[in-house]
Chain A
């Protein structure tokens, strides 16, 4: 039936808003990225596309409706890179396009001719220390939520031989980034630096965009970044002569672990529903009466009792906008005054 008995909220005192940041730990083990769902490089949870511009990693064979998209991998280099125009180059235009797409979205343009900025291995964006060849890891919104938590990123890369990639590892962390510093703000949001344990910057992480940009420098000294039937390739050779998909496969083979904390921003409105001691001690519930007599009383002087199970929040037009339920009935009688804090999250 219609509710006709309302308690008016004093909107200056009974309503407040809060902002809460929730963090979840996201561990992505290398076995999911490579080797769990089939034989490398043709795992069932790895989706390649005919356009050949990036590769998608799922947490389960992607043809299953249970699969969740985790992240995409791509590579690219700047057209001014030494690799550009190399003999035997494969898909060069697409590799340059990928680099430009990431940089124009994350960094924007610069100069009077509006040239696309290059990624730099520092926080100054002064066109010094450019990272001209990059791996890109685009994490899904499903796992990054509103943003990656600053200072929580850890990427472990295998730097051993192709056969035993994790005989040596390099751990990249954004150790200098925090909510109060260690980042630079750009078009793509805040970014921080990924340091290896020898305190060398090996990449960038864009927190709001959920994108890690890895330098090839982690693998520069290796001669067998990739090994295939035709022989072995250094990382530079992979960037030149392998397809983007092939380069992504090679990187997946060397990812041992990725972990970070995501951030979800929850804005809440809390309504303080104050139930006075002398009101709402009776009910219009049909079972409240037996032959018009209040069941919970023997004589008129007995204390009236009612039990609250539901709080309805209404507009001024009597529209029910939100409902909150108690976990168990709450006894209400004239001896107690109750404040129910009803929280609405957005």
Chain B
């Protein structure tokens, strides 16, 4: 008769982070909650077809080497475990940027030719009456840039089950209810994390009178986003210099219809049941000047002109689902 495994509880030694040490020195060190992370895990290594059976499905994952704890401010958990209590979930939502053409003239898209993986944000501080950064960008393929005004362009974000057009579950209204709403997989807002050295504030969908659906005549699109200043929040991304804002979202009403005029693929980046949609834009921090030399590049040839720019990344995360996306942003001005 073999012994039972009595390893039971697991004892772990914790290390203080920089913040923890500072709080200790200040005398207000108090731990009140915990979170679980799995950053090292690559779930694509889960082999559901292992010939030796289910006991071997996660063999490679269980052999994943784990890093020692870091103590830096970004030492923590990038991708946390989720507290969903439902055990019959097969799908979880993802977030995507909608860059489809012909939807709304205010939708920002990445540049078409030059540095095409970036969203451009204009800094007009060096614009003149004869030359402005917006026209320079537009003339050189960096179309549909952000200009940091409440009436300007925005990045359109959608969440949902991106299972592929034509696949199950289809993006119907019924499936939205059964797969997302009933499983509490609908975000009520997005957290937007931005480098406060370069970006002054976040503009976001107001959530009031905003609309994004295809229930108009002949399944045409209804889209209207009003940008308001997004309020700051204390949620931390754990990156130095990053601040956070909270952006309202609205139900994503673009749905699959079984008639001959299904328009979901024309209007939505999500190929499946859709959760929410939100708009985000950014304003350049006032007085940005030496930062171009310190953190960016200056006097860079751009078409027939020269520009200065700083590249930064904005992170957006669903407030409920934790689904996330990175928005690469290039802040540009006339040299």
Contact = CB atoms under 8 A, between A and B. Distances in A.
Interface of A: 1-9, 11, 15, 271, 273, 275, 278-332, 334, 338-345
A57 to B, nearest CB: 34
B89 A8 contact: no
Contacts of B20: 320-322
B275 to A, nearest CB: 11
Given A7-B83, A293-B163, 12 more contacts: A280-B83, A282-B89, A283-B43, A307-B58, A309-B40, A309-B64, A311-B12, A318-B235, A321-B17, A325-B68, A328-B66, A344-B14
Contacts of B324: 1, 284, 286
Interface string B59-89: 0011110111111010111111111110111
Interface in B166-187: 167
Interface residues of B, number: 84
Given A7-B35, A309-B37, A311-B36, A287 B43 contact: yes
Q: Name the prevailing secondary structure of the B interface residues.
A: loop
Interface stretch (B26-34, B131-139, B210-218, B293-301): B26-34
Contacts of A330: 10
16 contacts: A2-B191, A2-B236, A279-B85, A283-B43, A285-B38, A300-B89, A305-B46, A307-B38, A307-B61, A313-B33, A314-B33, A319-B23, A322-B14, A323-B75, A332-B81, A338-B10
B289 interface: no
A24 to B, nearest CB: 19
B272 A292 contact: yes
Contact of A282 (B32, B82, B162): B82
B82 A312 contact: no
Nearest to A281: B87
Nearest to B94: A292
Contacts of A11: 32
B237 A1 contact: yes
Most interface-central of A6, A284, A295 (chain B CB within 10 A):
A284
A175 B34 CA distance: 49
A9 B17 CA distance: 19
Contacts of A310: 36-39, 66, 69, 76-77
Contact of A320 (B17, B66, B81): B17
Contacts of B46: 295-296, 305
B38 A323 contact: no
Given A291-B163, A300-B90, A344 B39 contact: no
A294 B10 contact: no
B13 interface: yes
B322 interface: yes
A343 B66 contact: no
